[in-house]
Structure formats: C-alpha cells, structure tokens
A and B are shown apart, each in its own frame.
Chain A
C-alpha cells in the first residue's frame, strides 16, 4: 500500500495527530497489527522510530500535502486539501477497517503509546511474548522512565489484541 495514501487515510480518520512522537508510535502499532504502511522501524532512545516515516513526512510537507502547526509544547499534523483530493481520486475515502483502532490510539498519551510500541518491538525482535519475564526485564532496562507504565501498557495491548486482531482489521 502506498504510504501517502495510508497516511492520508490515517489523518482523514483522526483529523489530527499531536506531536511527532505520537504519529511515529501510532504508525508503528498499526503496522504491527497488520495495517500495511510498509515502513521499517529501528530502535532509538524514545523507542521504535522510523527514519523512513520521518523522511516521508518531510517530503509530503514539502509538497503541501500534510501540514504541521505548532500547538502548545508540541505540533499538530493534519492532511491538506490536496491530499484529501488525492484520496478521492484513488477511491480511498471510505473509512478503513482499522479506523476505530486509529481513533482509540489517538486518544492515548504519547508516553502510553511509546510503552506499547516498545513492547511490540521487543516481542518481535526477541521472539519472547509480551508478559514474559524476558520482555519485562528488557523493557525496564531500556525504559526506566516508563517502568510505572508497564503493567497498564501490557493490559492495554492485551485488550487491543482481542478487539483489533489483524483478522478483524483486514475485514
């Protein structure tokens, strides 16, 4: 799936996303649940971070398709008219199956998303499931500042897996 169309659908669904970190983690979590953004993620200090996504965002801002406006201590991303028009031209205006999931993710704080996104990354990289001691230990080592969020992140992720399984999102 084309990344511009996917980002356009995401921004159209949630209207706006506050902050780069939130956008990075939302795309990562959606991708881990099977939504094809086709961007690769590496691990950085603030958790999974995609240089490819960052680069694409800058490219789309350069073309006037996505705009970023300062908002309090962060910034807001939203789709421009030209991008919404493109979605119409390629018949991508109906809400995607993953729209409710995106809306729910957008309601979470960046720190909560960072914790969930990191858990998903560790699960994939280490082969150990979320909930195992190995993942907990690595998480606490990598993210001492998010230690208190770990139990909540694990339970939220478990709920997501029931409600928004990849099969349901593909439906």
Chain B
C-alpha cells in the first residue's frame, strides 16, 4: 500500500467515448493525481472554448478529455508490451510506463480558462505547455510530491511534455501526429458536437502501433519512433488525418464559433485595457482584475481557481456596469452572454494570401491600434498533415531528415532493422495533404468603425500593386 494519506482502491470511470476506463490498484498514483486541485480544476475548463455557442452539446471539459488521453496512452503501452515481450523495447516500456501515463494524464493542466482561445488574447498566456511543465515540477503544488512519492521523477514527466524525453517512441505516445491526445479529442469532440466527422478506426490503429527506426543508426533506441505496421496501418492513419481535416473545417473553424471567439477576444482586450487603467467595474472579482492586469501571468495558487465559472461571473457583473467608460465592455459582455449580435462581419476572401493579410493588419493597426477591442482579424489557417514533401529529399537531405524526424508519421515493418518510411512517400493522400493549406480569414468589427474598416479593406484588396501580383 502507498504511503499516501488517502487510500485509493481500484477505480473506474464511466466515459461516453471509451466506455469503462479502469485505474488499477497498481496505478494508484493516477488516482492520487486525479484528486489534486490542479487536475480537478480541469472540470471547470471546457475543451472547446466557446464552440457550444454553435454546437450546443460541445460543453465537455478538459477533465474527461485528459482521462481519455491517459486511457489511450495506457492501451498503446499495452500493445507495445505485448508485441515486443521479453525484448529491449518491452523493457523500456516497463521502465517508463508510469512516466508516460502521468504525462498523458497531466498534459493539459496548464490550460487557462477557455483553453486555446485565451492564448490568442494574451501572448504571455500563449504557451499552456510551459505552465503545464511548471505545474508538474513546482514544489508549491501537490503534483510533484505525488510523483516523487510514487518513484516517478517529475523532471522526466516534464521532458515528455517538452519534447525532450530521450526515447522518442515513448514521447510520440503523448506528442506526435498520431498521439493519444489527438485520437481522444477527435472522437470526443465529434461525439459532443453531435457530428460524425471525427470518426476513425481507433481499435485498428491501436492494433497497428509498433516501433521502427528512420535514423541512419538504427541501433540507438533513443532514435526509434512510434510507427504503424506498414502492411496494416496506412488506411487507418489516412482516415484519422481526414477526420482531423473535416473536424477542423466543420467544427473547430466554424464561422459562427469564430464570430463568438472574436467577441470574446474583444471583450477580454477591452477588460484588459480598463484593468491597466484601474478602471474596471468595482465589483470585478479580484483574481480577474489581477489576471487581466498581468495579462495572463498569475502564480500557482491563483491559477488553481482561475477558471471559466469565475470568468462568467465577471462577464455577468460587467453586463450591469453603467458608467460611460464601461459602455463597450457592457455591450460585449451582454452580447456574449445573450448570444446577441455585437460585431459586424466584413466581406473578405477567406483564403486571403499572407501578404494581403499582413498589409491589412498593418493598416488596421495604424488606424485603430494593435490588439484593439473594436476589431479582430481572424487568421485561421491549418494544414491537415504536417509532413515533408518527398520531392525535397534530393535538394536538402539533411533538412528533409530533420523535418521528417520531427513531424512525419512513419510506417515500419515492426522491426527496427529496415528503415521506416514516411507516409507521404507511399500514400498519395498524405502527399497531397502536405500541400493543402486551409485558410479561413475573417474580419469582425464594431459597427461604429465599419465605414472606415470597409475603406481600408477596399484599399488593400483593390488598389495596390500587390494584388496585381497575386
């Protein structure tokens, strides 16, 4: 029995996506981690920010997602353990199993309220991974104590999150284009959004996981990668990447969701501007004032209660602010809470090229100030698959290898003897997807500045030479 002050028995979670997720008595440390304030906070941070404005069911939390990621990671480890029993791979799996499970469970604990959306509001809150790493190793919280008490080095868990873990194939389970995080969020987000786009053959992908080597030196276990069985896994991987593309287009970048994100961003920027001038409504919760003043920088204890219920409390209070200087704040908060129109959407070609987008942003900055609370130029852009075009292999072999090692999905004959193959070298679908870029640029503004914004958009899109070159 552990020396933990709280005794945990084997435990099981009922999950709408994976069914029963058991935590065995031998993995009691996971139960202890789940019961920390750091992890329980994730109940109060939703996975998809404001997506439920568009998809009413999409209010699921990072708590259930994180449990799901831990579950998938556990199953991948089991597949590898069974496939390579009594080998050096199995020994490495056994040795680092707890570290990988802890990293999978804790990978999101640094997310601020409204997840990625808040990271767009403040640059200083940009990297939730950095806060996650700090929360894992800091002596101030309970996480590092639990890890140490169970013989897990918090620095090792940190390394996995930081992409610095010495064994790539184990790190890949938590952080790669086929990681447990992605596999859980696609299915979970699809389920809760009420769509069928995020569906792929999870069971078959799990069954196809193996280890391979892309590096010239295939004897170095530190350079082995998590791969898919070359004979069986390619179609399931294609299906997963297409699921991601369809979820991005249909859910994550949905135009209504992006509109409410723009309202949210303007609201937070307006509140931050008022906070800097000590002019927020007097009844604003103290922690929200501090958070906005420091533009996302708060200490560990404060972060534990910085969550969405607190932010919604502030929005509700701002909705009733009556002073003239709070007029715009009031309007944005009311619009956000009541889902009533606050910002105008401007006509903009959604695949606007980068140079025109940059010029437009520079001109808007000049006219109204950067990071203004009266406009938002949404530069949504994604690629379904981050890989390297095999055609660049001849031109820049080292650059190609660097990039492939960093990002590509690899196929292996399940041994480390034959060199693993990047999927884009054998799959026309992957090769095509490398060059696919989806741009969804949208401009939203306060109706009061619409005429001026219209003029700037027209100037940029019609009256300069750049357009002629496009």
Residues of A within 8 A of B (CB): 2, 4-5, 19-21, 24, 38, 40, 42-46, 49, 51, 54-55, 58-60, 62-65, 68-71, 73-75, 81-83, 85-86, 89-90, 110, 125
Contacts and interface: CB of A to CB of B under 8 A. Distances in A.
Interface in B402-433: 402-403, 405-407
A74 B396 contact: yes
Contacts of B355: 4, 63, 65, 82-83, 86
B466 interface: yes
Contacts of B397: 73
A161 to B, nearest CB: 24
B402 A4 contact: no
A51 B398 contact: no
A64 B355 CA distance: 10
Nearest to B165: A43
A85 B406 contact: no
Contacts of A54: 386, 403, 407
A89 B359 contact: yes
Interface residues of B, number: 38
A125 B161 CA distance: 13
B399 A21 contact: yes
A42 B399 contact: no
A74 B464 contact: no
A85 B465 contact: yes
B379 to A, nearest CB: 10
Given A59-B354, A90-B359, A70 B394 contact: yes
B396 A51 contact: no
Contact of B407 (A51, A73, A110): A51
Say what secondary structure dominates the interface of chain B: helix
Nearest to B460: A89
5 contacts: A46-B405, A51-B407, A60-B354, A65-B355, A75-B392
Given A21-B402, A42-B162, A75-B396, A51 B354 contact: no
A70 B393 CA distance: 10
A90 B358 contact: yes
A76 to B, nearest CB: 9
A162 B293 CA distance: 34
B399 A74 contact: yes
A71 B397 CA distance: 11
A166 to B, nearest CB: 17
B74 interface: no
Nearest to A86: B355
A86 B358 contact: yes
Most A Cβ at <10 Å: residue of B361, B386, B403, B464: B403
A65 B406 contact: no
A71 B399 CA distance: 12
B469 A82 contact: yes
A58 B383 contact: yes
Contact of A5 (B358, B383, B405, B466): B358
Contacts of B406: 44-45, 49, 51
